[in-house]
Amino acid sequence: MNKAITDGIDFMPPAFIDGLDDWSREDGTPGTNTYVGAADAALVASDPDFGPCLELQKTESVQRLRYMGEVPILPGVYLRVRARIKVMSGLFPSIRVAGRAGSAVGAHVTGLDETGPEILPATYGRIYEVSAIVGTGNRTGVDMQWGGSAVYGHFGIDLLGSNGGIVRVESIEIEDVTSVFHRNLMGWVDVRDYGAVGDGVTDDTLAFEAADADANGRELVVSPGVYFLGQTVTISSRCRFEGRVVMPSNRRLQLTNRFDLPIYIDAFGDEVEGLKRALAALFNFSGHESLDMKGRRVQLTAPLDLAAIAGKTGYANRRAIRNGQLEAEASPAWDTVTTVSTANWSVTTPDELTNVANIENIAIGALVSGNGMGREVYVKAKNEVAGTLTLSQKLINPSSTQSYTFQRFQYILDCSGFSDLSRFQVDDIEFLCFYNASGILLPKYGASWHIRDCWFTKPKDRGIASFDAGCFAINIDHCQFISTEYDTLAQERKTIAISLNSNDVRIRNNHAIRFRHFAFLSSALCIISGNHFWQGDNTASRNPTAGIVFTDRRSNSTLVSNYIDNCYIEVTNEHSPLQNGDANSPTFGDLIMTGNMFVAADVPNWFTFLRIMPYGTNHRLSGINMTHNTFNVFDGSQIDRVESLNLSNGSIDHSASEDIVFEYNVFNGVTRRTQNPAFVEVAQPTALAAWPYDHAQIVPFGGRVLSASSITALGPIQNAANVAQFGAPYVSVNQGAAGQAVAINWATAVKGRVALQLRSDRTI
């Protein structure tokens, strides 16, 4: 379509016969000399070929003829300037179309090509046509490419060569030939039509912005080429990338009309670069709250350092990434960085190492191991000048000076560069670790993360890990964790699905297969529900590991409706400096376990489903509630009991136990069916004044019987002569060396059967 028709713009100059006051003999700008009354110019009323026309005698080395009107140069519009000429006599001049480019303020725009191709006539009286196409775009066939800096032009012709020749010029035509390049009715604009060069060097920022501004609902097309954008560019139009974009790392391409991973891959011509650029835009533009990967799989050869990509160290607005796969391809960048260093430790600062050798080689987020310390301790901060490391947990009792090993695992999504990243959501992403990498490393601090419906396939070391408080109030829901150690014996595994440090954790409806631990929680106030974690192996006699480890002895947590498969729950205080318990120290407990299914097969008889491991002596149990659970041991195995204490590093004062509840549980394959309170029957076939009863089979954790109540005679109480007796007994508890024996004391020797309630805790 012709622009003059569609937009009402008339590009055509007036005919010469209408007067020469519109025709300059200089560059066409107002005030320059015209051909009015010039001795070397005359109007011809009727030429047999041209009709009315202009006759010129060449008197200057470059004889110019310029229309003084300002012909608009519009983005995406291409104009052809054309003239028909014949030489009447004299020397033949060379002829070309020429123009002067003007800016919005009327200044000459320099550095542009302002002349078209030359022709050299060779025959008198023959009609020759000279033409050139001018436009903003860098397109084949455009003779004068003016980009976006020129907004109008003064056009005409130049006569070159020897003087003296006489030529006749038919009225000059300027016509819209945009349709030669594309039709205006097609629903797109091309950045090349707005001056984009696409050579990978010239900054095409302004051309992209001009094309977007002029699109008005049409699609913006980035035609083949490599376009360098030196500044952050925001495009609101729909885009189609046939070429690709390159930008400095600190500049962003913000596509607001369609924001998803495929369009960024198209824009940058590379999956990894496209993902990084899309993430950068996600954290730096408020127009979108989430990045949809549209099911794409991106193969990575190095971790995604999210803070470096975003160019931020703190962010608290809700953002999400969803619906795709991130795959770790084999690469040295995934190798664990291991550093062995000596350091000093003091009980006065139990979470700090000082005088650390080679501290510059130790990375934030490294796992720390050494004598006298618990598991899952990470480097959360360092001061290289002072030579100190701050750790995520306190150490128990290492030597004052000793060697430590620091292992920095590599994660597909590494958020450790954020001092605070809150309200971030990872949704429907599969982390294809394939033993090359771990999954997600959380930030130093973060509140209210949500990781849901994700897969963590064969992580090398960790599925999700926190090295500080980045897991505060985290939600991990409906995720699948598949171990790379499936065929490894349980006790020899090293991988952990979830390792967290902060409080208010919610872990719900996940499935984990054959890790060393499903969840290692240095946390309190946890809600753990609906999960199935299966940690068996293929041996005939298994040595299962803990499915969940609580290192806050007083966790204030609930485990509800979980399927706990060939593993156990462990509660310890290994992240506290070694100290003995007293009336003021935290107790082991505040743990509710309800409606869980505990299952084991091919396990030794000493295996238990709940284990408490104290460090230090004289600790206490308080607030352990284990109700409505099922315990099933299959394949011919039989275990002694479901709960136990590991006293290799400490002891428990059972006389101080409080609020221990074991009731309404179902036992299969369990010899000693723990109850508390316990409703027991005591039968005495021969008359005795003190009936003995051993409660060791039932009392939780091998504790003591501390109280008795509700004695009821089940039938007559009789003396040796079978005469009914009606005196009331009293009960002596906490009898024997272990305190698990009970004596029912009568006024005289009697026999019979009674029911009574015993407790191994205090309920005050």
Q: How many CB atoms lie within 10 A of CB 630?
A: 13
Q: Report the half-sphere exposure of 717 (CA within 13 A, side-chain side).
A: 22
Question: In the predicted model, is pLDDT for residue 159 greater than 90?
Answer: yes
- With a CB cutoff of 8 Å and minimum separation 6, the contacts of 531 are 507, 508, 509, 510, 511, 512, 518, 562, 563
Q: Which two tokens stand for residue 250?
A: 């600190």
pLDDT for res 763: 74
Q: Tell me how far apart the alpha carbons of residues 204 and 514 are, in angstroms, rounded to a whole number.
A: 54
pLDDT tens per residue across span 743-756: 999 999 999 999 99
Q: What is the pTM of this model?
A: 0.84
Q: How confident is the model at residue 5 (pLDDT cuts 50, 70, 90)?
A: very low
Contact 550, 591 (CB under 8 A): yes
Q: What average pLDDT does this structure show over 144-166?
A: 92
Give residue 138's pLDDT band: very low, low, confident or very high (50, 70, 90). confident
Share of the chain above pLDDT 90, in %: 88
Name the pLDDT band for 281 (thresholds 50, 70, 90).
very high
Region 631-659 average pLDDT: 94
| Structure tokens belonging to residue 177 | 């030939």
Residue 7: pLDDT band (50, 70, 90) is low
Is pLDDT larger for residue 619 or for residue 580? 619
Mind listing the pLDDT tens digit for each residue in 686-722? Answer: 999 999 999 999 999 999 999 998 899 999 999 999 9
What integer is the mean pLDDT of 135-156? 88
Query: Quick one: pLDDT band at residue 8, thresholds 50, 70, 90?
Result: low
pLDDT score of 2: 43
In degrees and rounded to multiples of 5, residue 361 shows phi and psi of -95, 0
Angle at which helices 271-284 and 261-268 pack, to 10 degrees? 120
Residue 179 has pLDDT above 80, yes or no: no
Return mean pLDDT, the chain: 94
For residues 58-75, give the mean pLDDT. 93
| Phi and psi, residue 312, nearest 5° | -140, 160
pLDDT at res. 186: 60
DSSP for 286-309, written as a single string = TT-SEEE-TT-EEEESS-EEHHHH
Using alpha carbons, list the distances in angstroms from residue 228 to 32, 197, 246, 269.
40, 9, 5, 13
pLDDT-derived band of residue 582, with 50, 70 and 90 as boundaries?
Answer: confident
Q: How far apart, in Å, are the Cα atoms of 548 and each of 365, 498, 520?
A: 22, 9, 6
Phi, psi of 140 (to 5 degrees): -60, 135
Average of per-residue pLDDT across 61-75 = 93
Dist. CA 529–CA 475, nearest whole Å = 12
Helix (H, G, I), strand (E, B) or coil at 64: strand
% pLDDT > 70, the chain: 98
Average pLDDT over residues 395-408: 97
The whole-angstrom separation of Cα 232 and Cα 503 is 39
**What mean pLDDT do residues 321-346 have?**
98
d(CA 283, CA 122): 67
Residue 219 clears pLDDT 70, i.e. is over it? yes
